[in-house]
Each structure stands twice: as structure tokens, then as C-alpha cells.
Amino acid sequence: MPHEMVRVVHGTVLDDEEDLTLGQLCRMCRLHAEALIAMVEAGILEPRGETPGTWRFPGTSVTHVRIVVRLQRDLGVNLAGAALVLDLLGRLERLSRAR
């Protein structure tokens, strides 16, 4: 009988209720804080809190950051364009849920 190879994947399920610090989001997305701060300034991420040291991000921010990184890497989209894409994706998702 041939041996089957099993791939084990570890992960964390995140949602809007799971708060992440700036440092945690940096580690999860493998980005420097400056890149995430630029996304906050562009309106892509909307943390709760007044300063980077007190910011808390919803868990869904990880997905948004990963989409932005792919848009930048694969298509050369700037942050303003990425913000527009995320807005449109959000609208499409809301429309599909309304059906």
C-alpha cells in the first residue's frame, strides 16, 4: 500500500471581534509598521485608538492588507487604487448577501 503524504496546516480564525495590535498585524502580514501606517493614512485600514501605540485593528484587516499587497505586487496598484478596489469588493459582497 503506497504511503500518503499529509500536509498539516496551522492557522488562526480571525473576525471583526478579534482585535490586533499594530505589532501583531505587522507580524501576521510580514510588513513593517510604516507600510501599515501608510494604509491607515490612505483610508484602507481603520484602527480604533488615537496613536499607533494604542491602535487596535479588526481581525479582518489581515485579509485587506493581503489583498492590497497582492494588488501592489501583481498589478502595480497604488494605495489610492487599492482603497477603491477594496471599497468595490465590499459593495459586491454586500450586494451578493442581499440577494
35-79 pLDDT, tens digit each: 999 999 999 999 999 999 999 999 999 999 999 999 999 999 999
- More confident position, 12 or 41: 41
Amino acid identity, position 89:
L
CA distance linking residue 46 with residue 69, whole number of Å = 17
Work out the pLDDT band at 16, boundaries 50, 70, 90: low
Q: Which residue has the higher pLDDT, 4 or 69?
A: 69
Provide the pLDDT for residue 7: 78
Q: What is the pLDDT, as a whole number, of residue 10?
A: 53
Q: What CATH number labels 19-98?
A: 1.10.1660.10
* Full-model pTM: 0.80
Q: For residue 70, what is its C-alpha cell?
A: 497582492
